[in-house]
Chains A and B, each alone.
Chain A
């Protein structure tokens, strides 16, 4: 845990939000293991892990932006667009490596465009990313993917492996999530740039006055978010051989934000870390998996998930009361 990132309210032996979430997750986990037969089986745990790792990877990207006091509603759109373009290129006969690189490039460029609009033109991030996802989706559909979805017609084993499992049945997406989490953790806690992102989110004006180039930094944040999102996109393609642009219009982005915020990456910026994302992902994952085993349909699952989240939010605001007179918009 980064002590530097701890806000004052967390002192005095109060558990961090991530800790609360982890404890909550553990309680649910234990209860379910006892109550639901088959919940604790290795196969089920792996299914659980596979299901949430994409959400987790996306959450890592989102966390970077949110720590920098922004929000990226276009993450899923960028993911869909760049992955769909990469798949189209592979289908058109381009080798896999360059195709995937071009997809990454497009994702990063789109992220930088977001960062530019937010930091230089000064459009509120909520709106910027909302409108830019429309622009990206429309352009991609008009130029590259006319019918919203592309199938990966042929792929190498390497790419396929990304969506498969390694020996022992451990799904590869989980490994990808772990690697991403480790790298991001190192970046945020050990590098100067990582510290700058915290500074930027904590107080953008102070960061600027202290000499941090906040505009390029903002572009970096959004670029990172898009790039990590793209990794999730590639994993998605690897496991389903399909990219459907419609996911950009689903409520998935809200799930990502929830995962991030639940663990303690506050939308006011400068708070939380990779652990927070992992904690949030675990909670959501355990919940989803339990409900799947209980044979609930998607809608009921959403209702229950929402109920638990509301409880978590109220509980958190009870444990960590905030001064809403100094609270900032978007909090």
Chain B
């Protein structure tokens, strides 16, 4: 921490000196060096600006995003403000509303549902705050979206299930574990996967229930589903941690290896471990750490964009990687603590 601080201070000092030097050289009438000019423009656009970040809570994924953002933004001399609503949607709305009143330069949010923050995000852009939505979009389009191409992830998972279970290779029975029913991330992925699965006559979706990101609930539901469908072939899950409960339920039912578990993952280490232990069949990782760098890039780009808030609609879709064994460890980030 101290090292980071001194680093940041040193940089600020250096920047001040450079700025002084630039002023001097400009005064003496000499043409500025184009490379240092670029640096100056960058610093003018970024330094002392405020970026606010409101995740749903500080879970593993969000902590990773926060860690990467914090180190990058602080490096550039940007104020970075985090508000943790701790999984309470009404508090998240409060936090966003308050932040808009505080007028940061950029607001980064992770939407719990498509509707909750939609109105406030519009207001933010009217107030001149540029808004980036991360991974879970809302009904309002904002300056930038950074995240997985969720429908595509859904299709990739479904395709994997079809390849494994369809066409007589398995029973074709699939259970889908949703996240939260009204969260865009979960909703879009489920819809896309279901569409693809239903297009294949050999497949049938026997259960598609929201588990509210909760491993215990996933375990409960999976136990339930396995009771009725002992010949279940695959479980598709939209998020890693919640699937742990399902995997344990499968294991307790003595069906480990018989029921394939395909998981959309943010690349947190536990998910890779689950694959290595054979509890998950395959992970589709969108690598939160790389995604975090994309968030940083989007924020820096928006800071340097002179147009008012609401004029751009950038999208930064992340690339997904399959994780099927220890050799794919690079697609999981290291535990941040």
Contacts and interface: CB of A to CB of B under 8 A. Distances in A.
Interface stretch (A26-34, A146-154, A175-183, A192-200): A146-154
Interface stretch (B2-10, B29-37, B70-78, B240-248): B240-248
Nearest to B336: A146
Interface string B205-233: 00101000011110111011001100000
Interface of B: 59-60, 63, 207, 209, 214-217, 219-221, 223-224, 227-228, 241, 244-245, 248-249, 252, 270, 273, 337
- Binding site secondary structure of chain B: helix
A324 B16 CA distance: 78
Contact of A292 (B227, B245, B249): B227
Contact of A240 (B59, B209, B224, B248): B248
Given A151-B270, A250-B217, A297-B224, 10 more contacts: A47-B227, A240-B248, A244-B216, A244-B245, A246-B216, A292-B224, A292-B228, A293-B227, A293-B228, A298-B224
A298 B220 contact: yes
Closest 10 CB pairs of A and B: A240-B248, A244-B215, A147-B60, A247-B216, A295-B228, A292-B224, A246-B214, A292-B227, A244-B216, A242-B244
Interface in A40-73: 47, 51
A239 B215 contact: no
A163 interface: yes
A238 B209 CA distance: 26
Contacts of A147: 59-60, 63, 241
Contacts of A240: 219, 245, 248-249, 252
Nearest to A301: B224
Interface in A280-300: 292-293, 295, 297-298
Contacts of A239: 248, 252
Given A239-B252, A242-B248, A149 B227 contact: no
A242 B215 contact: yes
Contacts of B273: 151
A51 B226 CA distance: 14
Contact of B214 (A47, A51, A250, A297): A250
A119 interface: no
A298 B241 contact: no
Given A240-B245, A244-B245, A298-B209, A163 B216 contact: no
B250 to A, nearest CB: 11
A298 B215 contact: no
A241 interface: yes
11 contacts: A47-B227, A151-B244, A239-B252, A240-B245, A240-B252, A246-B214, A247-B216, A250-B216, A297-B207, A297-B221, A298-B220
A304 to B, nearest CB: 14
